Amino acid sequence: MRTAHPRALRRATAAGALTVLLALAGCTSGGDTKAASSAPQRVSDDQAAAVPDDEASPAPQGSSSPSKVPVLPDAQLTPATGSFTAKEKKYLHGRVPKNMDPAAVLQIGQESCQRIERTAAHDKNAAIGALIAGEIEGADDAIIHLCPKQRPLLDAAATGFPDGTRKKPKPGTYQALTDAKGCTWKALGAGGRVLGSGPGPGNGTKKVTAKVPAGTTSFVSSGCYAWLPV
């Protein structure tokens, strides 16, 4: 399985146009509340400790120890009616807490796919920016298993990085995935020496670009949402 892209420093300054697109894409029809109403029951520490490792959910990204929340074994991943496809079962593996409907967990992944697809239909770069910034929960696994047609977006997102501080960025020209004013950046070298700064081209009229020279040890930005190589 593909390693999840780092998610760091999510910014409240995500630009107006992208924010609107993401909000629209997050809407679902029919008012389904099944996933929200099927929350797993609380498990005591003693119960959790008794769960075999192969029935414990995977550790969260960056965690040094496995999570001990009991999950359904694969043999019990069955919906109330019908059956899951092989891809759906792979997505659900190790992901469904006991006492929770597997179909509700699957629905969360399907809604992530719908949000990505709807956003990309309006603006491909907005969808890529959302993936880079971690705006869509569980998007990586959802794309890999449930909507593989969106894999090119995930691959593109892997080449970018979110707003904030990026250590040792690859030299090149990058574009900020926002139209908002106030995007600023600095390329810093050894000893904190400024090698380049901006906003440069853009500043509200078009997307800001930044040239990261060789020798850059840190790239620091604010109000830029996410960066993608040009």
Length of the chain in terms of residues written: 230
Q: What is the mean pLDDT of the chain?
A: 77
Which band of pLDDT confidence, cut at 50, 70 and 90, is reported for residue 201? low
Average pLDDT over residues 137-164: 96
> CA 156 to CA 98: how far, in whole Å?
35
Amino acid at site 28: T
Which pLDDT does position 30 carry in this prediction? 40
Position 218 confidence tier, pLDDT thresholds 50, 70, 90: very high
pTM given for the model: 0.67
One-letter amino acid at 113 equals C
Closest CA to 160 of 102, 84, 219: 219
Closest to 224 measured CA to CA, from 152, 145, 165, 159: 165
Residue whose token pair is 């004013």: 181
DSSP codes joined into one string, 169-209: PPSEEEEES---TT-EEEEE-GGG-EEEEE--S-TTSS--E
The predicted-structure confidence for 163-196, as pLDDT tens digits, reads as follows 999 999 999 999 999 988 889 999 999 999 999 9
Query: Is residue 219 over pLDDT 80?
Result: yes
Residues 6+ positions from 85 with CB-CB distance below 8 Å? none
Provide CB contacts within 8 A for 220, sequence distance 6+: 164, 165, 166, 185, 186, 188
For residues 154 and 160, give the distance between their C-alpha atoms in angstroms, rounded to a whole number: 10
Query: What is the number of helices (H) and of strands (E) in the chain?
Result: 8, 8
